[in-house]
Amino acid sequence: MHRISPLILAFVFVPFAIEAVWVFWPALQGFWLALTNWDGLTAPKFVGFGNFHDMVTDPIFRTALKNTAIWLVLFGGLSVIGGFGMALLLQKERRGVGIYRAALFTPVVFSLVVTALIWRVFYQPDGLVDSVLRGVGLGNFVRPWLADPDTALYAVILPALWRQIGYVMVLYLAGLKAVDPALYEAARVDGASAWQRTRYVTIPQLKGVNSVVLSVIVIDSLRSFDIVWSMTKGGPYHSSELLSTYMYSTAFQSTQLGYASAIAVVIFLLALAVILGYLIRAFREET
């Protein structure tokens, strides 16, 4: 039996202690604050589950919940499909393929706030989007993209996707590289078409990558905040509100920190439910 070196113990416990002070303790406080009414200045007032009760009848909360679901499906779904599609297209080593890969990956390098700035310029009245639409004779579709409650959310999803697809593509490219070429050879010898090779060789081989992509997507969807906040602040009149932006604005603009903490608890539970759900399924498949 080895004695564990104090240095190694330090590597475990020092970060843990820091984490405990800066992450776990505030998180626990968040649970407590969710049961109070607090304006951030005076002492919190205990209200039990009052905040959660208010949430049920709060139309803005319901919009935010619905939008978060839309975000999860559209942003999550499309970035997987798009990223996988791009990876398939760009997996073969050809001349110049590196340029295309780099081009698709570049948006990931920019901060989302900067991305939002650029896209806002596109969307502004008489901006690029409007000019293009007018140029191709679709002037009827011109609208205040970020200020129209019917389009604001989707206008924000687009730049978020533009960025995420490159990221997911890189994950899949790495996965595709790991597939044994002999499998394709064998499939080809058996007379499998390109589609069949993708369906029966590539996709099953990517199972490991899929689980990584799924967790990345779910976490990224639920924590999406910066791009929405920089582009619309959840507006106009809460129509592009996500749970995260609603939590922020209730906390720091309306200074209802108790209610905001309650929203944070809901976000936490949602994330937990999705991830636990996935883990349970994964374990079942293992056994």
> Are residues 217 and 168 in contact, defined by beta-carbon separation less than 8 angstroms?
yes
Q: Residue 33 has which token pair?
A: 């604050």
| Residue 233 to residues 66, 138, 176, 230, 249, Cα–Cα distance (Å) | 17, 28, 39, 6, 8
> Is residue 149 a contact point for other proteins (CB under 8 A)?
yes
> Is residue 172 a contact point for other proteins (CB under 8 A)?
no
- The correct pick among 52, 108, 124, 179 for binding other proteins (CB under 8 A) is 124
> Is residue 164 a contact point for other proteins (CB under 8 A)?
no
> Among residue numbers 175 through 234, which ones bind other proteins (CB under 8 A)?
226, 229-230, 233
- Cβ neighbours around 214 below 10 Å, total: 16
Strands 36-37 and 45-46, bridge-based pairing: antiparallel
> Are residues 32 and 118 in contact, defined by beta-carbon separation less than 8 angstroms?
no
Beta bridge partners of 45: 37
> Is residue 266 a contact point for other proteins (CB under 8 A)?
no
The residue range among 73-81, 183-191, 215-223, 251-259 that interacts with other proteins, by the rule CB under 8 A, is 251-259
Lay out the site mask for other proteins across 32-71 (x = CB under 8 A, - = otherwise).
Answer: -x---xxxxxxxx---------x----xx-----------
The size of the interface with other proteins (CB under 8 A), counted in residues, is 51
Q: Can you spell out the DSSP letters for 33-46?
A: HTTEE--SSS--EE
> Is residue 144 a contact point for other proteins (CB under 8 A)?
yes
Give the shortest CB-270-to-other proteins separation in angstroms. Answer: 19
The residue range among 86-94, 107-115, 184-192, 197-205 that interacts with other proteins, by the rule CB under 8 A, is 107-115
Compute the distance between CA of residue 271 and CA of residue 172 in angstroms, rounded to an integer. 23
Compute the distance between CA of residue 220 and CA of residue 1 in angstroms, rounded to an integer. 43
Give the shortest CB-237-to-other proteins separation in angstroms. Answer: 4
Q: Please give the residue ranges that form the binding site for other proteins (CB under 8 A).
A: 22, 26, 29-30, 33, 37-44, 54, 59-60, 111, 113-114, 116-117, 120-121, 123-126, 144-149, 226, 229-230, 233, 235-238, 248-249, 251-256, 258-259
